[in-house]
Structure 1
Amino acid sequence: MAGQAGSHRAPAEQSPLLLILGFVLVAGLLFGLFKVVDPGGGDAEPTAAIVSETTTSATTTAPTTEPEAKVQQGLTLEPVPAPVCEDVQVETEITVLSYNIKSARIGGGIGAYLGVIANSGADVVLLQEVDKFRHTSNQIDQAGWLADNLGGWYDAFGANVDYGGGLYGTAIISRYPILSSENTHLPNGPGGQQRGLLHAVIDVDGVEVSLYNTHLQNKIDYLKVAQARAIAPIIAADDRPRILGGDFNSMVGDTPLSTIIGGAGMTDTWGAVGIGSGLTHPSSNPRGRIDLLLHGGDGITAISSDVLPATNSDHRAVRATYAVDGVAAKVCGDLYG
């Protein structure tokens, strides 16, 4: 049986060529799968994320958490136009009051006059018979006190007489800033009391407006006429919108007021747009219209005028509202044209 010893053979060895072909086949399949998952060649992202990004790029209103540069790929964004702004001239209304307060010695004291002024809606008040530090009025700066208690207004005082331990004259208080003020003494003579013309320039939202305040002589006619003649050229030389108020101790048609109205180119405001009788004195039973507001110059128009019913003083206060032109305002066009 020795001849059968070699009947069982060892298994044949595998060919190296087959192993190489198998490796190439597997590598090719893996490479193809990698290209499907990450066509951009970057870090691999889930297929769902690619679909989401593609959808977002095609729909500009869809929310996305991708960086802005990716969201806007392929889109042209028009810049939003800036609003076009320009300064234009408009008008604003101011209300002016002229009030002889008789040193606040009657009618409930200075606090009562504050109430009348505050309730009037005035922006500017021209005051006559005003005390400053006089013993008979508790040494109060009446104009300053009123301005402070109206919420920090501005004030200007025109001193015409020095007695009683202090000063006496006219004043202007204003919600608008007072840029400058000056008091000019008017002609005086035997039996008269020194009177003045107080001038203040206020800033009404960028427009300068001149305010004049006076209190003409009582009873001495020639002094009233002389004072009116002194006032007229001062106001006529002013090219601003202007308002003159005061206790004139004369009525429209009398020589003093005719001199001022004609010589200064002014208009009687109540005569133009007045409501009611316009009578101001005496306050308990008014028979004369001696407290007036006048206006003139370019850029100012009277809207309304009336007399307040308050009887604290021996004079009633006259009120007028004006439109002032030329106030600067910034106006912008529609943001999107």
Structure 2
Amino acid sequence: MATRSKDLFDDSVMTFGEHLEALRTHLWKALLGLGIAMGLCLWKGDIVVRIVQRPLEAALKKYGNETKLLDDLNSDKPMWQALWETLNQDPESINRTPGEKLVPSDSLTVELPAAELHSALATATGKPLDPLPEADQAKPVALTFKSPFFSELRGLISQSEKPVTLKVEEGFMTYLKLSGVAGLLLASPWIFYQVWMFVAAGLYAHERKYVYVFGGMSLALFLLGVVFCYYLVFPFVLRFLISFNTSLGLTLQPRLSEWVTFAIILPLMFGISFQLPLVMLFLERLQIFDTKVYMQNWRFAVLAISFISMILTPADPISMLLMMAPLIGLYFFGVLLCRYASSSAEPAAAT
């Protein structure tokens, strides 16, 4: 006696009208989920804006007020050491020396050698003062000055470390744009699920198995590319671009809407480029290329990856390497995927 399949879609035989009704149902469910996600992101859109602004503000705080920066290639530290220190440095401590305490916003603390302060006091009073012990002459003396001007100055410096808007409505429109993108991303699993529930009813069991395996792999690779760009590539890209403006004597005032576009497109390109292994597998299954061709032409592949990385990363060689290195690794992962992924299942033999 044949064993009954437990697959959810094995008994799904529908007429054309029933397919249209199913499409309408899944479409409304997807739109309802999208509307809820959009509303949630509009309600908490300020969190989304802060997340997108964070890399830019950290870079402006770290590099924006410096007059001279060393290029990554001129640093005496290894690349990965510099990368680790960049990622683990607290932005709040960048402009403070070790042991320095925070002072009120309307106060300013300066340090002078005791000998200089002693000499200045003697000159100002016109009276000779007792000489300082030699051991105390080099000791620093902290003086605190208080004035409303210092608070205003700190406010100006703080504003220079944030992106600007050039139109009255720009902040609001950027808020809507980011909330819309975030809502679409938040609702995308639910939307894909509704699409899948409609499409899967017309697929064979082995076809659904491929979608489960390679669809999940595609999503993981895409998220890996986005996270890699946000946490590893952005610091180097921003460092180079800000330092380049500084070297030309330009005052950088990044515009919020333009940064948002850049911050959306670059991670998207990384997420798409990380689909390389699946593209290689797809071409292999179509018998356009095979594993032997991939291995014989790996040098040309590395050259092509290097050129694409140079085009997609508008920054110094270190940023290009940060895109090129994982793509080369993904290329050889794609070769292994083509070699070991099962291709023996045929539609006619599937059960």
Q: What's the TM-score, normalizing by structure 1? A: 0.18
Q: Per chain length, whose mean CA-contact separation is higher, i.e. which structure has more relative contact order (CA < 8 Å, sep 6+)?
A: 2
TM-score normalized by structure 2? 0.17
Which has the larger share of helix? 2
Higher strand share: 1
The structure with the larger Rg is 1
